[in-house]
Amino acid sequence: MDIKNLTIISALEDLRSKKITAVDLVEACLENIRKHNQDYNVLLTVEDDDKLIKQAREADATDHSSPLSGIPIVVKDMFSTKNLRTTAASKVLENYTPKYESTVTRKLKEAGAIIIGKANQDAWAHGATGENSDFEPTRNAIGTDTGGSIRVPASYNNLVGLKPTYGRVSRYGVVAMASSLDTMAHVTKNVTDSAHILNITAGADPYDATSIKTDPEDYLKSLTREDLKGVKIGLSPDFKMATLDKKLVKKIDESLKLFEKLGGKIIEVPLPHTPESVETYYILVPSEISSNLARYDGIRYGNGRSHFGAEAKRRIMIGTYSLSSGYYDAYYKAAQKVRTLIIKDFTSAFEHVDVIFAPVAPVLPYKIGEKVNDPLTLYLMDIYTSPVNLSGLPSLALPAGFVDDLPVGIQIIGPPLSESRLFSIGNAYEKQ
């Protein structure tokens, strides 16, 4: 069967009306994996075929009333999955099999989802490009977004990516990168599926003290808007539009015009400190990384510290330097203060607008290896995404069309806990 055009919601309808079975879905995914995974290396670990078919049969024995009954899902290899290898795509953890389950994967499983396997990524999720693959076997993927690593892959694959408010989804059982920025995010084919997944993953968790106590909303109820009349959309001249690849400018403008056509009002808002987001990000994140990765000593699990790859070593070194005596004030503390200024910029902007519009990535998708030897150019990839993570805000990445046959994405950023607003606006935009 062809699963390319199925969304989560449409697959659920077909399962409930018995047009298809969960076994069909799982077999189609496994077939794709057999055909393509060797070439694209999308999945680092695939769950045992027999176990998957057994889970699918069990789902088919029900009336598929569970919210994700029989739906195949891939999770980035940052999520601890009980008795299924979890490597964070690092040689340090190449043989690590968790004995407990992350909150997000537990919730997905309880909702009936079938976790097909663990997706490749940059090691320890250090980078925005690791998932730059044109092939995703299920197109439903759950991952982490610390500086854009869900929104960028979504945009580079013409898909929808949601980075929720920091703390909206539990971090428990997820390999930590930068604890004050890490957000559990997801990629789906459309806005409805994205809202449906957040309905399952969102919520307070006693195992994550930074999770938000406010009850989540029913995000599917937000998808009623047909137009954007009365919606104030912020556009910042400081968002360094100048760094945007010229090829993208026209496409991004077209997308903005669409928001206007739907009735949205474009209002210019200053975000004067966002141009410094990348510098701030690349001090704070490596600092938190150096602290989080200090635990990997190869004694209780995993391999020793000589197994870290080049980028992890670079980040550990930069972070250790920033936190070391004599440099702490000049680097780490200075960055924490600029973080305050960036957050204030957004807070002031949201006094005037409902959401802020921005591109996702400054350049078109590129070939694997093209930029890997140039860490600084890669860091600048995060120019539009990192200020959002530093501020803990939610952002919805949406497809904006194609340039040179390559997909382009835009994002709408909202104040804390405005996920419903983002879905509602995104849904109206998507219908155009």
Partner 1 sequence: MAKIQTLSTDEVKHVAKLANLSFDSEDLQKYLPQLSAILDFVGKLQEIDTKNIPATSQVTGLENIFREDEVDATRMLSQEDALSNAKETHNGFFKVPAIFE
Which residue in 227, 317, 348, 432 binds partner 1 (CB under 8 A)? 317
Please work out the total of residues on this chain that contact partner 1, with binding judged by CB under 8 A.
59
Q: Taking contact as CB under 8 A, which single stretch among the options 7-15, 16-24, 205-213, 257-265 is the one that binds partner 1? A: 205-213
Sheet strand arrangement including 141-145:
43-46, 114-119, 72-76, 141-145, 183-188, 160-163, 395-403, 406-413, 355-359, 232-235, 265-268
Residues 147-166 interacting with partner 1 (rule: CB under 8 A)? 166
* Residue 394 binds to partner 1 (criterion: CB under 8 A): no
Q: Is the alpha carbon torsion for 378, 380, 385, 386 positive or negative?
A: positive
Residue 70 in 3-state DSSP? Answer: coil
Tell me how far, at minimum, the Cβ of 78 lies from partner 1, in Å. Answer: 17
Which of 95, 432 has the CB closer to partner 1?
95
Which residue in 15, 43, 44, 338 binds partner 1 (CB under 8 A)? 338
* Residue 99 binds to partner 1 (criterion: CB under 8 A): yes
Ramachandran angles phi, psi of 419, nearest 5°: -55, -40
Which residue in 261, 337, 352, 431 binds partner 1 (CB under 8 A)? 337
* Residue 379 binds to partner 1 (criterion: CB under 8 A): yes
Which residue in 330, 348, 431, 432 binds partner 1 (CB under 8 A)? 330
Given a contact cutoff of 8 angstroms between Cβ atoms, the answer to whether 187 and 154 are in contact is yes
- Tokens representing 90? 């690092």
Which residue in 95, 347, 348, 432 binds partner 1 (CB under 8 A)? 95
Residues 268-287 interacting with partner 1 (rule: CB under 8 A)? 273, 276, 279-280, 282-283
CA distance 129 to 370: 11
Q: Per-residue x/- mask for partner 1, residues 223 to 262, rule CB under 8 A?
A: ----------------------------------------
Tell me how far, at minimum, the Cβ of 202 lies from partner 1, in Å. Answer: 15
CA distance 48 to 59: 17
Which residue in 100, 110, 221, 227 binds partner 1 (CB under 8 A)? 100
Q: Is the alpha carbon torsion for 157, 360, 201, 233 positive or negative?
A: negative
Query: What DSSP string runs through 236-284?
Result: -TTTTGGGS-HHHHHHHHHHHHHHHHTT-EEEE---TTGGGHHHHHHHH
Ramachandran angles phi, psi of 337, nearest 5°: -75, -40
Which of 104, 233 has the CB closer to partner 1?
104
Residues 52-81 interacting with partner 1 (rule: CB under 8 A)? none
CA distance 339 to 268: 22
Query: What DSSP string runs through 24-52?
Result: HHHHHHHHHHHHHHHHH--EEEE--HHHH
* Residue 334 binds to partner 1 (criterion: CB under 8 A): yes
* Residue 201 binds to partner 1 (criterion: CB under 8 A): no
Which of 301, 366 has the CB closer to partner 1?
301
* Residue 126 binds to partner 1 (criterion: CB under 8 A): no
∠ CA 400-406-408, nearest 5°, is 25
Which of 105, 188 has the CB closer to partner 1?
105
Tell me how far, at minimum, the Cβ of 252 lies from partner 1, in Å. Answer: 26
CA 407 to chain CA centroid, nearest Å = 17
Which residue in 48, 326, 369, 405 binds partner 1 (CB under 8 A)? 326
CA distance 20 to 430: 27
Residues 174-193 interacting with partner 1 (rule: CB under 8 A)? 180
Q: Which residues, other chains included, contact 426 with Cβ-Cβ below 8 Å and sequence gap of 6+?
A: 160, 191, 194, 396, 398, 412
∠ CA 130-6-8, nearest 5°, is 80
Residues that bind partner 1 (CB under 8 A): 95-97, 99-100, 166-167, 180, 206-207, 209-210, 212, 273, 276, 279-280, 282-283, 290, 294, 297-302, 305-306, 308, 313-314, 316-318, 320-322, 324, 326-327, 329-331, 333-341, 343, 375-376, 379, 391-392
